[in-house]
Amino acid sequence: MSDMIFRPGLEGVPVTKSSICDIDGNKGELRYRGYPIAELASQSSFLETAYLLIWGNLPNPQQLRDFEKEVQMHRRVSFRVRDMMKCFPATGHPMDALQSSAASLGLFYSRRAIDNPQYVYDAVVRLIAKIPTMVAAFQLIRKGQDPIQPRDDLPYSSNFLYMLTEREQDPLAARVFDRCLILHAEHSLNASTFSARVTASTLTDPYAVVASAVGTLAGPLHGGANEDVIEMLQEIGTPNKAGAFLDKAIANKRKIMGFGHREYRVKDPRASILQVLAEELFARFGKDDLYDVAIAVEKEAANRLGTKGIYPNVDFYSGLVYRKLGISRDLFTPVFAISRVAGWLAHWREQLGANRIFRPSQIYTGVKSRSWNPPEERSSSKETKLKTSHP
Ligand code: COA
């Protein structure tokens, strides 16, 4: 056992075979099921892309109409889920609310039917349909308002923005939002997707799979980074302060949020597309002053971090887009989850297709063998307590 190779963070260790998403981190290329991300982001819709990811091929017109219709019919959530959400503390993070409400769906739909294709289809439809409704519902509930019911006459993204903001959006805003969902829908074996696959490998229900992935996505090194990017840009304040900020952060070994990626050594292709989307919104609805700060950070960071292959990732410009769409900062990661559920479900299906439960090994570094001794013979120093309770 001692000659096992340990790779922290499983870097470079394949843990599955997958035909869903392909990344070339040196060229900055990303493809879903073979289709370049830029093509999907400009030509497809989120629901079409979700179908592609989950079922493997682009739908024909009838399949797409059926899928859109099914998703539309399942947008509502039970009043019991809404009532449960009303008991959540208004100060709680919306990701925690989403994780709990996604898990609660497992209470309503029968478990352990994952061999039944109809159950799988229905679960896919329900999760894609209901997650946006739950995100929007918590946003209103925490403001002391009743959730807004989904509108059947509005397409998927317009309906979400309507439920969230209580008004119909400009078609450009809805289209930009839909393209953001396409960009975030899948990214191979990132932490939340890995989490989803590990959970799926136990053959539990898909609601538990998604709830576990939501919990993983919530962390600041993963989906939570775009919240921190906005905070960082606000802290920098003006473009001329970007260089000094970076120098200080790098000297203090502080990570620059929205930069760096395990897979990419160049600028994340999604960051480039999001930057264009931000500019489209600014041209129509007015510029966000933080955009100039972001541009300055990207330029200054290239001189300081570029040699290490650290460039903007997907989170660097997405927050600026969401701000312009009127989405509050702590909803950025729930919005990410609305989209990434498509990738999680694709991996859920793929995992079930060739399942073996995940059970990695470890290299044990603890004490080899000890004998129990009575409490009065044990050391009572604080240091020992800390060491034994948190090795
Ligand atoms: N700012 C400054 N330095 C960074 C950096 C960043 N954002 N990201 C990585 N680095 C540096 C590390 O300090 C380390 O340098 P060293 O070798 O001199 O010690 C090196 O690059 C490798 O970093 P590491 O954290 O080991 O890379 P990773 O592959 O484990 O982590 C991330 C990838 C995404 C977690 C990491 O880049 C990060 O924390 N980025 C900021 C958070 C973020 O934007 N997350 C969203 C990801 S989509």
Tens-digit pLDDT profile for residues 79-107? 999 999 999 999 999 999 999 999 999 99
Q: What is the pLDDT of residue 59?
A: 98
Can you tell me whether residue 248 is helix, strand or coil? helix
CB distance 313 to ligand 1 below 6 Å: yes
What contacts 231, CB < 8 A, 6 or more positions away? 257, 329
Over residues 2-20, the mean pLDDT reads 90
- Contact yes or no for 208/339 (Cβ under 8 A): no
Over residues 332-358, the mean pLDDT reads 97
Rg (CA), the chain: 22
Cα(149)–Cα(166) distance, integer angstroms: 10
- Contact yes or no for 138/89 (Cβ under 8 A): no
Cα(105)–Cα(228) distance, integer angstroms: 30
187 is a catalytic site residue? no
Q: Which amino acid is at 310?
A: I
Q: What is the pLDDT of residue 389?
A: 45
- The band of 158, judged by pLDDT with boundaries at 50, 70 and 90, is very high
CATH number of 225-323: 1.10.230.10
CB distance 31 to ligand 1 below 6 Å: no
Percent of the chain at pLDDT > 70 equals 96
Phi and psi torsions of 69, nearest 5°: -65, -45
Quick check: 391 pLDDT over 50? no
Over residues 366-381, the mean pLDDT reads 90
Phi and psi torsions of 368, nearest 5°: -70, -50
- The band of 185, judged by pLDDT with boundaries at 50, 70 and 90, is very high
183-216: string of b/e by CB count within 10 Å (b at 16+)? Answer: bbbbbbbbbbbbbbbbbbbeebbbbbbbbbbbbb
Q: Which one-letter DSSP state was computed for residue 20?
A: S
The residue to mutate among 232, 308, 318, having the most atoms of ligand 1 within 8 angstroms of its beta carbon, is: 308
Paired sense of beta strands 35-36 and 21-24, if any? unpaired
Q: Which helix (H) or strand (E) holds 31?
A: strand 29-32
Cα(128)–Cα(125) distance, integer angstroms: 5
Q: Which amino acid is at 113?
A: A
Least confident of 128-137, 199-208, 217-226: 217-226
Quick check: 108 pLDDT over 70? yes
The Å distance, Cα 20 to ligand 1 centre, comes to 25
How does the average pLDDT of the chain come out, rounded? 94
- Which residues pair with residue 24 across a beta bridge? 29
Looking at the structure, give the CATH architecture of the domain made up of residues 29-222+330-353: Orthogonal Bundle (1.10)
Q: Where are the domains of the chain?
A: 29-222+330-353, 225-323
Quick check: 387 pLDDT over 70? no
Helix/strand/coil (H/E/C) assignment for every residue in 291-329 = HHHHHHHHHHHHHHHHHHCCCECHHHHHHHHHHHCCCCH
Q: Which helix (H) or strand (E) holds 346?
A: helix 332-353
- Contact yes or no for 20/350 (Cβ under 8 A): yes
Q: What is the pLDDT of residue 225?
A: 87
261 is a catalytic site residue? yes
CB distance 333 to ligand 1 below 6 Å: no
The Å distance, Cα 213 to ligand 1 centre, comes to 21
Phi and psi torsions of 226, nearest 5°: -70, -25
How many C-beta atoms lie closer than 10 Å to residue 258's C-beta? 27
Paired sense of beta strands 35-36 and 29-32, if any? antiparallel
Q: What is the pLDDT of residue 390?
A: 46
Can you tell me whether residue 23 is helix, strand or coil? strand
More confident of the two residues 1 and 314 = 314
